[in-house]
Amino acid sequence: MKKLWGGRFTQTAEEWVDEFGASISFDQQLVLEDIEGSLAHVTMLASCGIVTEEEAELIKKGLYEIKEKAEKDELSFSVELEDIHLNIESLLTEMIGPVGGKLHTGRSRNDQVAVDMHLYLRNQVEHILDLITEMQKELVTLAEQHVETIMPGYTHLQRAQPISFAHHLLAYFWMLERDKARYIDNLNRINVSPLGAGALAGTTFPIDRYLSAEILGFDSIYENSLDAVSDRDFILEFMSASSILMMHLSRFAEEIILWSSQEFQFIELSDSFSTGSSIMPQKKNPDMAELIRGKSGRVYGNLFGLLTILKGLPLAYNKDMQEDKEGMFDTVKTVSGSLKIFAGMIRTMKVKSAQMEKATQNDFSNATELADYLSAKGLPFRQAHEIVGELVLICVQKGCYLKDLNLEEFQKASALFEADIYEALEPKTAVKRRNSAGGTGFSQVYHAIEKAKECMK
């Protein structure tokens, strides 16, 4: 098959070389965006008198027919035609004749592929934002049910202080809110039109780049044609935001895995998001959470892969940049799937409230309450800290907990201790009293839930 760009060539590549250089196996995912960009381009060409209205209408009619077939998955693509752009142009020319060749007037595949990816990422980021919001809704719904469910809070994976389970869940809500903000900011760079930049230097045709940008819903155009065709910052930003999001999901997945273990028994995952063992009948494995934790690595890899591809490229377009798409597609698929799975896990998991609260009883996570108790009575915190540390050591040596010490033992350590110390040691009291802004106190958590709901409106 003679290449559409083959006028200067006297030989054609062997089939395996064509296959190595072709991108149609993956960039066919851009078929609808490519048609959308072409429709805007031909509308602009007609508006500027570069093609006639009759030619433009014929081209549009052909493009709409191709679009209809694409939506029904009825198109066949050719490796010999390399990419989605030449495949569609060839289909169009077969359909309407030589006038189809006028569609490419005033543009290059370099700005064409760039506009396709801008359109694709805009659509996908908006979808991802919706998925993040859905996961946030599940978090808030579960949090509302467990404001007064007490669980151990951890540092260094050691029990630290008792907290509200809702408070723990809402920590992930706010991480996701920051993720949304990063994607929304990313849209500012995504929503810029490279169309009309040509191969690298613009075009001699009297095109109107602002009109085509307006038709496609872009906020602005690239001000430099070299930059327009060589920029992939907007994809790097997307992959960076996605890597941070996946890191958040991976951290949450790790906790889901721990909580569902026999050692914790804080939650039980639905059968829908668990698997069994081929040899051990009793097993119920948190495989979906483990997969999300694992898939964070491939998203990181996609980011570093594209950074490496771009780091040594001279301006403007280079064939290396064909490698920008598969990682982008994979990141979109991975992030979207992970968010859907996570929302489902949260919605269907069983929370074992009694087991959580039991875990706060037999430990030293109430030690800070003792130090705060003494400080509230005027003792400098450092002295209070030392006294409580000595009491903890006594308990360790005796094999008991702070609540098991009698009042005489407390008063021997400090005369400031009174009979109300046992109430202060109760985990629920400890949680309830922490009402500083953003704290785990119940009134603060109820307030945080209302703020979270406002964010999702």
Q: Which tokens belong to 136?
A: 């946030």
Enclosing H/E stretch for 117:
helix 109-145
Query: For residue 150, with 0-12 CB atoms within 10 Å meaning exposed, 13-18 middle and 19 or more buried, which class applies?
Result: buried
d(C-alpha 71, C-alpha 65), whole Å: 10
Q: Which tokens belong to 367?
A: 């030690």
Q: Are strands 192-193 and 220-221 parallel, antiparallel or unpaired?
A: parallel
Half-sphere exposure for 153 (CA within 13 Å, toward CB):
19
Per annotation, catalytic residue among 25, 261, 277, 443: 277
Find, among 369, 438, 356, the residue nearest to 150 by Cα. 356
d(C-alpha 70, C-alpha 323), whole Å: 24
The answer to whether 148 and 195 are in contact (CB under 8 A) is no
d(C-alpha 322, C-alpha 354), whole Å: 55
The CA dihedral of 208, 211, 216, 222, to the nearest 10 degrees, is 50
Q: To 10 degrees, what angle do helices 84-96 and 31-47 make?
A: 60
CA 155 to chain centre: 26
Per annotation, catalytic residue among 76, 156, 278, 436: 156
Q: What is the DSSP string of 17-84?
A: HHHHH--HHHHGGGHHHHHHHHHHHHHHHHHTTSS-HHHHHHHHHHHHHHHHHHHTT-----GGG-SH
Q: Angle at CA 435, nearest 5°, toward 432 and 440?
A: 65
d(C-alpha 46, C-alpha 426), whole Å: 77
Q: Is 447 a catalytic residue?
A: no
The answer to whether 342 and 295 are in contact (CB under 8 A) is no
* E strands in 211-329: 220-221, 267-268
Q: Is 277 a catalytic residue?
A: yes
b/e string for 120-145 if b means 16 or more Cβ within 10 A? bbbebbeebeebbbbbbbbbbebbee
- A 10 A CB-CB count for 397 gives 8
Residues serving a catalytic function are 156, 277
